[in-house]
């Protein structure tokens, strides 16, 4: 019942009418070099919906993100996640704590970001925030999967460039499961996007082209140190789009197409994001810090 309660909570958050700052990246898997502004907090409920192969079950995997800008070069983020399988059950699948560090302050031709994440999840996790290693066996019941821990450390090397109006990003992923010996698993993600217009309209409007960014992602697994390569791995290509609804609110959507036999035929991803600006100053003022 506790797991089911967690799932209901996350599902409710995923459909709240919350809507992120200008030119929010439309990526769901790929990261670029833009970090959260210092002192700002962003709340982003999201969902991954898996369309399975014939005879398999549909999977609905909601999750919620809390992202905080600690400094101009450090962003930290907390994830809470769950999933529901059609004809099976709904389960709480764990949490993740992510940190991203930008070693170079000024804009460069290639901007590196160092990424570190600790995951306290279980094998029922299906949000596919990244794709690493080999393909998952999704035929096992949730009750059995949630009993298998998957405490993992994940690192990424993120390389991101701005070329005219385009962002081009490459992510190289390394993941180690601390709960069992699977070697080090590898994955990749590449993405590119740009705003649909770079000049603002004379009149303020919701549907103006400058409020939209669009692009594509390519991501997948590369096996592990035990068996490196594309054999029995999942890979996807996905158009991505973000709509800046207001100064602090964004919608994102991405339909992904599986490219290999180990992939799901399709993934559909939805998210909203709401940014609380200058949270640090507001809390300081609330508790008497600014007098």
Q: Are 64 and 33 in contact (CB under 8 A)?
A: no
**Which tokens is 187 given?**
């994955």
Name the pTM for this structure: 0.88
Identify the pLDDT of residue 53: 78
| pLDDT tens digits, 58-88 | 899 999 999 999 999 999 999 999 999 988 9
Query: Residue 199 gets which letter from DSSP?
Result: S
Question: What SS3 state is found at 146?
Answer: coil
β-bridge partners, 272: 251
Query: Residue 72 gets which letter from DSSP?
Result: T
**Residue 179, Cβ density class (10 Å: 0-12 exposed, 13-18 middle, ≥19 buried):** middle
CA separation for the pair 99, 115 (Å, rounded): 6
Residue tagged 């210092």 (tokens): 38
Q: Are 150 and 119 in contact (CB under 8 A)?
A: yes
Long-range CB pairs of 195-199 (<8 Å, 24+ gap) are 195/23, 195/165, 198/165
Identify the pLDDT of residue 267: 96
* Domain boundaries along the sequence of the chain: 2-286
Identify the pLDDT of residue 22: 41
| pLDDT tens digits, 263-280 | 999 999 999 999 998 887
Report residue 45: phi and psi, to 5°. Answer: -75, 145
CA separation for the pair 265, 257 (Å, rounded): 6
Q: State the Rg of the chain over Cα.
A: 19
Segments in the chain below pLDDT 70: 1-23, 54-56, 137-138, 202, 289-291
Q: Which alpha helices (H) appear in 127-210, and where do they start and end?
A: 142-145
CATH of 2-286, one of 2.40.160.40, 1.10.3720.10, 3.40.50.2300, 3.90.226.10: 2.40.160.40
């Amino acid at each position: 019942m506790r797991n089911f309660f967690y799932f209901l909570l996350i599902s409710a958050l995923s459909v709240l009418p919350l809507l992120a700052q200008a030119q929010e990246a439309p990526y769901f898997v790929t990261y670029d070099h833009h970090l959260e502004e210092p002192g700002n907090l962003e709340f982003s409920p999201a969902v991954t919906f898996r369309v399975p192969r014939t005879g398999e079950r549909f999977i609905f995997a909601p999750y919620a993100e809390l992202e905080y800008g600690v400094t101009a070069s450090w962003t930290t983020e907390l994830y809470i996640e769950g999933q529901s399988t059609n004809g099976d059950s709904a389960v709480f699948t764990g949490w993740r704590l992510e940190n991203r560090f930008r070693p170079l302050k000024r804009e460069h031709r290639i901007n590196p970001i160092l990424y570190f994440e600790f995951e306290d999840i279980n094998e029922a996790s299906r949000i596919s925030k990244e794709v690493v290693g080999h393909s998952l066996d999704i035929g096992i019941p949730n009750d059995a999967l949630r009993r298998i821990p998957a405490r993992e450390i994940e690192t990424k090397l993120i390389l991101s460039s701005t070329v005219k109006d385009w962002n081009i990003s490459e992510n190289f992923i390394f993941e180690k499961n601390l709960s069992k010996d699977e070697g080090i698993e590898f994955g990749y993600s590449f993405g590119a996007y740009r705003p649909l217009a770079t000049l603002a309209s004379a009149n303020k409007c919701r549907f103006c082209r400058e409020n939209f960014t669009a692009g594509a992602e390519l991501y997948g697994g590369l096996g592990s140190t035990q068996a490196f390569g594309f054999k029995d791995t999942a890979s996807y290509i996905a158009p991505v789009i973000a709509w800046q609804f207001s100064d602090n609110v964004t919608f994102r959507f991405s339909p992904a197409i599986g490219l290999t036999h180990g992939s799901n035929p399709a993934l559909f991803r939805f998210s909203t994001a709401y940014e609380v600006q200058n949270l640090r100053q507001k809390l300081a003022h609330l508790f008497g810090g600014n007098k």
